[in-house]
Amino acid sequence: MESAPDRTTKYQADSLSLIGAIALGTGVMIGAGIFALTGQMAEMTGSLFPLAFLSSALIVSFSAYSYVKLSNAYPSAGGIAMYLEKAYGKTLTTAFHALLMYFSMVIAQSFLARTFGSYTLQLFAIDDSSLLVPTLGVGLLLVAFLLNLAVTGLIQGVASVLGFIKIGGIVLFGVVGVLVADSVEVNFSAADPGASLTGFLGATALGILAFKGFTTITNSGSELKDPRRNLGKAIMISIALCVVIYALVGFAVSSNLSLGKIIETRNYSLAAAARPALGEYAVWFTVILAMLATSGGIIASVFAVSRMLAMLTEMKLVPHSHFHMPGSIQKHTLVYTIVLGLLLTAFFDLSRIAALGIIFYLIMDVAIHWGVLRHLRKEVGANPVIPIMATVLDVIILGGFLWVKGASDPLVLIVAAAVMAAILIMEFFFLRTRPSEGQPDHKHSG
């Protein structure tokens, strides 16, 4: 009788350097944050959006504490999935929140893909409402899929090169934008008349989406060199780099565009800001930079997200079917991740993609902090005050964001509730009928 093929996910120990891990984290953060969120945040809170970015950075700094402590104690390829399992066991709580994180990361890929399409069309003066936006995004996801079929070293190399190019380019954009501006300031009097405290909280929530890419680093523990030392270091360096870059670019955009223009061009505001400051050549520079940044972000994100789903499968927390595909479980989860990303890219616009992503992420983030506080505080050596502060801030920000979206786009909240209900129901029945240890938990056919 022919034995079943070994589908266990293989991880190449020490194949990811500290610089590579930083490139993966900043690749996802910078790709999503600066290029598409600036205008959306301005729409919520007016000219105060640079301060909303800084507010987001403060909240993420509290949040990162739990992840650093957990990554130092439990470095693994499963990252957040493993952290939740350590806190709550192989339970519905773990499966539900891990899948929320998984979906938020897939959503981030779609966000990057559509941002790529919106910026690319500016080279040809085509409106970003064109169907070419999702078409270009789908094409980019397919290229990322092919690259991720390769070995970790190639992914790390591509992500690292693109990461250095875009960080240098964005810093150059910010510095030049500030230098050529008539003045560099946050004009409080220019705030949108409809802006409010809840609007500022909502913009801060979107800003958190710009920083959440640091969590992709936690999925690389099995491949990172000296993970107990380098995981936490990679997380903090990535966040620090993005704080400086976001602040610089935020002030450059607000100094070169009126509030109305920032909102009007919210899906490609950096390219719009480059035109009055430096002319058409600067627009080309910014667009190409955005294309490189979003491409690198997707490559880095797909790498981490597919491994997280593979870990959930091997932990017997989610159902899995091979659909007659060869290769390891991780290759299968790569396919599922790309397919979900393609569907979101094709059928959801940028603002709704961002809204779903931040709702799922903040709910999961609260579960992480509560798990550290309630179950793992002594094991990981955490100061309880910081997870408490992080939890309170998450709840306040999430409440403000839900209030804003409930008034402006309630469909997003309905979709988010429906997806979470579906996850709960699916996982409830799967975990009740889950095979015992040692038995296969996945099917070999569709």
Tokens 């729409």, residue? 43
d(CA 226, CA 195): 47
pLDDT of residue 325: 62
Q: Which of 78-87, 126-135, 212-221, 371-380 has the lowest mean pLDDT?
A: 212-221
Tell which residue, 97, 36, 109, 136, has the closest CA to residue 299: 109
Give the residue, 20 or 357, on which the prediction is more confident. 357
Q: Structure tokens of 381?
A: 């050596």
Q: Is 135 left (phi over 0), alpha (psi -120 to 50) or beta?
A: alpha
pLDDT of residue 420: 97
Q: Is 220 left (phi over 0), alpha (psi -120 to 50) or beta?
A: alpha
- The pLDDT of 200-210, averaged and rounded, is 87
- The pLDDT of 411-421, averaged and rounded, is 95
Question: Does residue 110 register a pLDDT over 60?
Answer: yes
pLDDT of residue 15: 58
Q: At what angle do helices 197-211 and 350-371 cross, to 10 degrees?
A: 80
Tokens 């099917």, residue? 443
d(CA 244, CA 250): 10
What residue ranges do the domains of the chain occupy? 18-434
Contacts of 365 (CB under 8 A, 6+ apart): 63, 390, 394
- Express each pLDDT in 298-338 by its tens digit: 877 777 778 778 888 888 888 866 555 655 677 778 888 88
- The pLDDT of 181-192, averaged and rounded, is 54
d(CA 283, CA 270): 8
Q: Which of 184-198, 312-326, 426-440 has the lowest mean pLDDT?
A: 184-198
d(CA 187, CA 183): 10
Give bridge partners of residue 321 from the DSSP assignment: 443
d(CA 431, CA 319): 9
Alpha carbon dihedral 241, 111, 153, 218, in 10-degree steps, equals 60
Tell which residue, 109, 45, 100, has the closest CA to residue 348: 109
pTM: 0.81
- Express each pLDDT in 343-372 by its tens digit: 888 888 777 888 898 999 999 999 999 999
Percent of the chain exceeding pLDDT 70 equals: 81
Q: Which of 195-204, 321-330, 394-403 has the lowest mean pLDDT?
A: 321-330
d(CA 411, CA 202): 16
- Confidence band of 80 (pLDDT split at 50, 70, 90): confident
- Confidence band of 7 (pLDDT split at 50, 70, 90): very low
- The pLDDT of 176-197, averaged and rounded, is 61
In CATH terms, the superfamily for domain 18-434 is Amino acid/polyamine transporter I (1.20.1740.10)
Q: What is the 3-state secondary structure (H, E, C) of the chain?
A: CCCCCCCCCCCCCCCECHHHHHHHHHHHHHHHHHHHHHHHHHHHHHHHHHHHHHHHHHHHHHHHHHHHHHHHHCCCCCCHHHHHHHHHCCCHHHHHHHHHHHHHHHHHHHHHHHHHHHHHHHHHCCCCCCCHHHHHHHHHHHHHHHHHCCCHHHHHHHHHHHHHHHHHHHHHHHHHHHHHCCCCCCCHHHCCCCCCHHHHHHHHHHHHHHHHHHHHHHHHCCCECCHHHHHHHHHHHHHHHHHHHHHHHHHHHHHHCCHHHHHHCCCCHHHHHHHHHHCHHHHHHHHHHHHHHHHHHHHHHHHHHHHHHHHHHHCCCCCEECCCCCCCHHHHHHHHHHHHHHHHHHHCCHHHHHHHHHHHHHHHHHHHHHHHHHHHHHHHCCCCHHHHHHHHHHHHHHHHHHHHHHHHCHHHHHHHHHHHHHHHHHHHHHHHCCCCCCCCCEECCC
- The pLDDT of 380-408, averaged and rounded, is 93
Question: Does residue 402 register a pLDDT over 90?
Answer: yes
pLDDT of residue 22: 80
d(CA 81, CA 361): 13
| 129-148 burial code (b ≥16 CB/10 A, e <16) | eeebbbebbbebbeebbebb
Contacts of 417 (CB under 8 A, 6+ apart): none
Q: What is the average pLDDT value for the chain, to the nearest integer? A: 79
